[in-house]
Amino acid sequence: MTTTARTDPATATMLSLIGSLADNKSALGRRYGEWAVSAPTIESAVAAAAMAQDELGHARSTYPVLAKLGVTREEDALESGHPLRVIEHELPDWPSFIAANLIVDGILTTFVASARESSIEPLAQRARKILQEEGAHRRHAEAWARRLAQAGGADRELLLRRIAEMWADAARWPGPPDDPGYRDAVAKGMVSEGPAAVRDRVRKWLTELLDAQGVEVRLQEPANWSGWDEEHRR
């Protein structure tokens, strides 16, 4: 449960984004950690453990930003929270792990990059630290995407299916393209770009990455915003 003071639309949007960022990083850390004993290679198992540690650390350092903005969260968010549904439960296979690494981590990190010069200074500080560590996550995701795409057959098909599933859920996370609170947040320098731009960056990166392997992927702009939960961003 979250307690917030009445606030303007831009700050309300940022509170939602920051709280949800922390919830999703916490869940992503748990999902990565579950593969630390069962990744296809011992090297990637250790990398999964390291990435889990990073994500849990990012969550722990992001929650206090809410407190600095006057929000009190009553629950132990590392055990609860409201993450994206695609990472609420254990990832069923390694291509799911890689799809989460690409899409969920990709969307969250692209948002964090847009907050690097945020007028909310505690957020900007954390963003710079998080981005230092996320470079390794991106390299891991890219390398495994190339490997699974090159493997062809069932491996490639499953990766593409998992990417489509992750995108359908995670692409909604930044929110509708015309969200007035997000627009105000950009105008106030809280973030440098809006939800459509965040999706565009991830779409362009991933499309080019897979295109280089001869694989076509279509990552559509979310069209249906009915049932959109603005607080939990899903």
Partner 1 sequence: MSRADETVWEVFARKEYEEPLHHVGTVTEEDEDLAVVCARAIYDEQPWIEMILVPRPAIRQAIHA
Binding site for partner 1 (CB under 8 A): 40-41, 43-44, 46-47, 49-51, 136, 139-140, 142-144, 146-147
Least distance in angstroms from the C-beta of 46 to partner 1: 5
Least distance in angstroms from the C-beta of 148 to partner 1: 11
Least distance in angstroms from the C-beta of 200 to partner 1: 24
Q: Could you give the C-alpha distances from 190 to 86, 90, 118, 179, in angstroms and in order?
A: 28, 33, 4, 15
Least distance in angstroms from the C-beta of 214 to partner 1: 17
Under 8 Å CB-to-CB from 124, ≥6 apart: which residues?
A: 115, 116, 117, 118
Q: Could you give the C-alpha distances from 78 to 68, 85, 97, in angstroms and in order?
A: 19, 16, 20
Q: Which residues pair with 76 in a beta bridge?
A: none
Say which amino acid occupies 50.
A
> Closer to partner 1 at the Cβ: 21 or 47?
47
> Closer to partner 1 at the Cβ: 49 or 124?
49
Q: Could you give the C-alpha distances from 116 to 91, 111, 173, 184, in angstroms and in order?
A: 30, 9, 19, 17
User: How does DSSP assign 122-158, residue by residue?
Assistant: HHHHHHHHHHHHHHHHHHHHHHHHHHHHHH-HHHHHH
> Closer to partner 1 at the Cβ: 67 or 136?
136
Least distance in angstroms from the C-beta of 224 to partner 1: 36
* Contact predicate 73/19, CB 8 Å: yes
> Closer to partner 1 at the Cβ: 93 or 229?
93
Least distance in angstroms from the C-beta of 43 to partner 1: 4
* Contact predicate 128/45, CB 8 Å: no
Least distance in angstroms from the C-beta of 51 to partner 1: 8
> Closer to partner 1 at the Cβ: 51 or 123?
51
> Closer to partner 1 at the Cβ: 40 or 92?
40
> Closer to partner 1 at the Cβ: 51 or 56?
51
Q: Which residues pair with 113 in a beta bridge?
A: none
Query: What's the CA gap between 35 and 200, in Å, rounded?
Result: 29
Query: What's the CA gap between 183 and 148, in Å, rounded?
Result: 38
